Chain A
C-alpha cells in the first residue's frame, strides 16, 4: 500500500516538475523554507550518456565523418576501458604548446584571470534534466585535459527560445599531466546546484599533454526529484555574483587597450557590453570568443559596442560566436577600418554570404576561418583585396570548391604570406601547391594535413622544400605518399625546420629521418605515428641521439 502511494506521489510530482516553470519551483522552495513541508518521498537517481553533441570549438576529424570527431562523445563508449588512438573517440584539433610556438599564434591577452585555463570546449545535451550528483568522463588516451565542467539551466531540446540562461560551474581545476597515456574514468567531486540540467559543457586544456587527448563518453548522474532538506540556500544574489567580475572591469578607471571577455562567456550580455562601452574607446585588441550564444548577445548590442570601439581596433577574436550573422559582419567591416586580425574560428552557423564583407578589411594580416562555411567567391574576393595577409587559416573549410585556384590567387596577391593552414583541404593538387610555393616565398608554416590529393610522385614536396628555405612548420599528416626523397630534400633545404608531422606513411625509413634530425638542429617536434617502417625501437634510438626533439609515435593498443 505504501509502495503504491509512493509511486502515485512520484508520478504526480514528476509530471508537475516537468510542466512547472522556474517561478513555481522557486515558490515551492520558499514554501519549504518558511516551514511548510513539501511531500517528496522519493528521489530517483538516473544515469545517462549524452544524447547529442550540440556545440564544440574544434576537432581533429573531418566534417561529416565519425572518425576522431566530437560527435563521438555522445552515446555509449566504444573504446573504454581500452587505451589507444582510435577512430571512435572525440579528439580536439591541437595539444601541447606546439601551436602557441608558431608565428601564426596571437599573443595572449593581458589581464586574463589566472583561473581561466580553457582552450577548447564541448557542449552535450542529455535526455532527462536532473540535479547532478556526478559527472564521469571516460578518457581513453592521454587523459587529464578537463579543466571545467558547467551545467546550464536551459533545456536545449525544448521548443521555447532560451530565456534567463544560467551557467553554473560544477567543477573546475588546473590543467594536469597524467603520467601514463592509459584510459581512465575521470569523476571529480561536483558542486550541487539548485536547478535541474540536461546541458553540460566541458572545457579542456591540453597544454601539458604529450599527445592528442581522446574522450569516449560522458555520464551524467543525477536526481530527478530532490529531497529538499538537503538543498543549499537559494541563489538569491545570483545577479550580483554574475556581475561581480564584470563589475570590477566596469569600475576600473583605466581605459582598456586590450580586453578579453572570453573567461566571462557565460555571463556576457548586451547589457554588460553596454556597461563596458565607455571604457573601450581606445580598444586595440578585443576577445569576444565563445560569448553571446543562446540569445545573450544580439546585433543591437554588438553593433552599438563596435560603433563605440571599432575605430582603433586592430584585433578581434570571435571564435565560436554563434550570435554572429551577416549584418554583424557588415557592422565590423564598417566600424573597424584598421582591423588587422580577425578570428572567426568555428563560426559554423555563419552563412556563406556574410564572408563577403571581410574583403572590405583591406588591412587584414591575420584571418582565421577554421570550420566556417566560406565559399569560393568570397575567399577569392578577400585574397584580391587583402594583400597584406600574413597568416591565413582555411582549415576544414569544406565549402571551398577548388583549392588550386585559391592557392594560385595567394601566390599572385599575398606575397608576404607567412603561415597557411590548409588542414583537410580535400582537392588541393600539386599544380596549386607548386604555384603557392613559387609565389609565397616567405612561408614559414604550412599545414597540409589530410590533403589526400597531393602526390609525392609529382615532386611537389621536394619542390616545396626547395622553394621555402624559411620553413619552420610543415604538416603532411596522413599523406600516404610522403617518402624518403621528400624527407631528404627537407633535410637539405629547410635548416630552420622545427615542427614536422608525417603521420601514416609507409614509405619513410629510419635512415632518412636520421639525416633530417642531423640537418635540422632546431627540430623540436617530429610526429611519426603510424609510419610502418618506424617502430618503437627506432623512435627510442633516435630520441636518445637527439634528446631535444619530441618524437611522437601514437599507438592503438
Chain B
C-alpha cells in the first residue's frame, strides 16, 4: 500500500517536473553597467561605454541579448598608442554586428572573429590590443553562449552561489591572451598590461579562435556578472556575492544600484595599500612579495535573466 503511494508520488513529481521544464516564454537580459577609469579624468571625458582603456557594449537583437567587455592592454601607451582606441572600436563593431543581425547566437566566437576582421577593414590604421568577453543569451532556447579571450570574464550566480564562471587565459603573469593589431615588424607581439610588470614583447599570436567558449542553460532570476579584471583582481567572490544578495528584484534601477555598488567597492579596494586583494594573493603565490589592491580600469556589467517584454 505504502509503496504504491510513494510510487505514485514519484511519478507525479516526475510528470510535474517534466511539464515545468518546457517554458516557452522568451527570456531576456536586463543589464546595467558601471565602471571607473584608472585615470579619473579619462573616465569622465569618454562616453558611457568606455571606462579608461576598458570598453563595453550592450545590444539587443530579435533573437538574442548580447553583452561584451574588452580591456585595452595598457602596455601600448609606451609605444605612443592610445590603448582605448582598440578596445573601444572592437566593442562598437561587435555592437553594430549584433544590431544588424550579422551573427549566430550560438557562436559568440564568431562575433569576435568577424569584429576583428572588420577592424582590419577600417581605413584608419588601428593599433593596440585588448581582451574580450562576449555573452549571448539566446532568447528562445534559454541558453547562454559565451566566448572569452584573456582575463576579463563572467560569473553566473544562482541562489547565492556561483554556478558558472569563465577561465582566465594568460600567457605569463599579467600578460593575458589578447586580440591585437601590431605595427609592421612586430606581428604577433603580445604586451603585458600593468606597469608592475615589464612591458616586453613576446612572440605569441592570439587569434579570435583562441577564445574559450561555453554554453549552458539559464533560469529566470539568474544573475550574470561580466567584468574586466579590474573587478576580479580586487574583489573576491564572497564580497561580490554579498553585494548580489542585496538584489531583490529585476528592475533596471535595482540592478544599476548593485552594479554601481560593486564597481565602487572594487574601486576603493584597488587603492587600499594594505588590503590583500585576489591579485596580491596570486602574486604572492607566484613568489612576488606584493600587498594591496590593483589600480586598474574597472568595468562591470550586471544582468538578470528575466522574461522578455517588448
Q: Which residues of A are in contact with B by a Cβ distance under 8 Å?
A: 61-62, 65-68, 75, 78, 85, 87-88, 452, 455-457, 478, 480-481, 503-507, 529-530, 532, 554, 556
- B59 shortest CB reach to chain A, Å: 14
Q: Return the 10 tightest CB-CB contacts between A and B, nearest first.
A: A67-B121, A481-B184, A504-B125, A65-B121, A530-B123, A480-B125, A530-B124, A506-B125, A87-B122, A504-B123
Listed by A's residue number, 20 A-B pairs whose Cβ atoms lie within 8 Å are A61-B121, A65-B121, A67-B122, A68-B123, A87-B121, A478-B125, A480-B125, A480-B183, A480-B184, A481-B184, A503-B123, A504-B123, A504-B125, A505-B125, A506-B127, A506-B183, A507-B184, A529-B123, A530-B123, A530-B124
By beta carbon, the residue of chain B nearest A483 is: B184
Contact: B184 with A457, CB < 8 Å?
yes
Chain B residues with CB below 8 A from A65, complex form = 117-118, 121
By beta carbon, the residue of chain B nearest A506 is: B125
A66-B102, A87-B118 known; A455-B124 Cβ under 8 A: no
Chain B residues with CB below 8 A from A478, complex form = 123, 125
Chain A residues with CB below 8 A from B100, complex form = 66, 75
List 9 extra interface pairs beyond A61-B121, A75-B100, CB under 8 A: A66-B102, A66-B118, A67-B122, A78-B96, A85-B123, A87-B123, A504-B123, A529-B123, A530-B124
- B114 shortest CB reach to chain A, Å: 9
Question: At the interface, yes or no: B120 with Cβ under 8 Å from chain A?
Answer: yes
Chain B residues with CB below 8 A from A87, complex form = 118, 121-123
Chain A residues with CB below 8 A from B124, complex form = 504, 530, 556
By beta carbon, the residue of chain B nearest A456 is: B184
Contact: B117 with A532, CB < 8 Å?
no
A62 to B121, CA, bound (A): 8
Contact: B123 with A554, CB < 8 Å?
yes
A65 to B114, CA, bound (A): 9
Question: At the interface, yes or no: B97 with Cβ under 8 Å from chain A?
Answer: yes
Which of B97, B118, B120, B123 is within 8 Å of A452, CB to CB?
Answer: B120
Question: At the interface, yes or no: B185 with Cβ under 8 Å from chain A?
Answer: yes
A507 to B183, CA, bound (A): 10
Chain B residues with CB below 8 A from A88, complex form = 96
A452 to B125, CA, bound (A): 12
A66 to B121, CA, bound (A): 9
A318 to B232, CA, bound (A): 61
> Within B111-140, which residues are at the interface with A (CB < 8 Å)?
117-118, 120-125, 127
Which of B96, B122, B127, B185 is within 8 Å of A457, CB to CB?
Answer: B185
> Within B179-215, which residues are at the interface with A (CB < 8 Å)?
183-185
A241 to B125, CA, bound (A): 53
Interface centre among B96, B102, B184, B185 (most CB of A within 10 A): B184
- A69 shortest CB reach to chain B, Å: 9
Chain A residues with CB below 8 A from B97, complex form = 66
- A85 shortest CB reach to chain B, Å: 6
- A279 shortest CB reach to chain B, Å: 47
> Within B78-123, which residues are at the interface with A (CB < 8 Å)?
96-97, 100, 102, 117-118, 120-123
A91 to B18, CA, bound (A): 55
A61 to B118, CA, bound (A): 10
- B197 shortest CB reach to chain A, Å: 27
Chain B 145-162: CB-based contact to A (< 8 A → 1; otherwise 0): 000000000000000000
- B96 shortest CB reach to chain A, Å: 7
Chain A residues with CB below 8 A from B184, complex form = 455-457, 480-481, 507
- B88 shortest CB reach to chain A, Å: 14
Chain B residues with CB below 8 A from A504, complex form = 123-125
Contact: B121 with A68, CB < 8 Å?
yes
Chain A residues with CB below 8 A from B183, complex form = 480, 506
Interface centre among B117, B121, B185 (most CB of A within 10 A): B121
- B104 shortest CB reach to chain A, Å: 15
- A26 shortest CB reach to chain B, Å: 39
A66-B102, A455-B184, A481-B184 known; A532-B125 Cβ under 8 A: yes
Chain B 274-303: CB-based contact to A (< 8 A → 1; otherwise 0): 000000000000000000000000000000
A530 to B117, CA, bound (A): 19
Chain A residues with CB below 8 A from B120, complex form = 452
- A207 shortest CB reach to chain B, Å: 22
By beta carbon, the residue of chain A nearest B184 is: A481
By beta carbon, the residue of chain B nearest A532 is: B125
A499 to B183, CA, bound (A): 26
- B95 shortest CB reach to chain A, Å: 11
- A76 shortest CB reach to chain B, Å: 10
By beta carbon, the residue of chain B nearest A504 is: B125
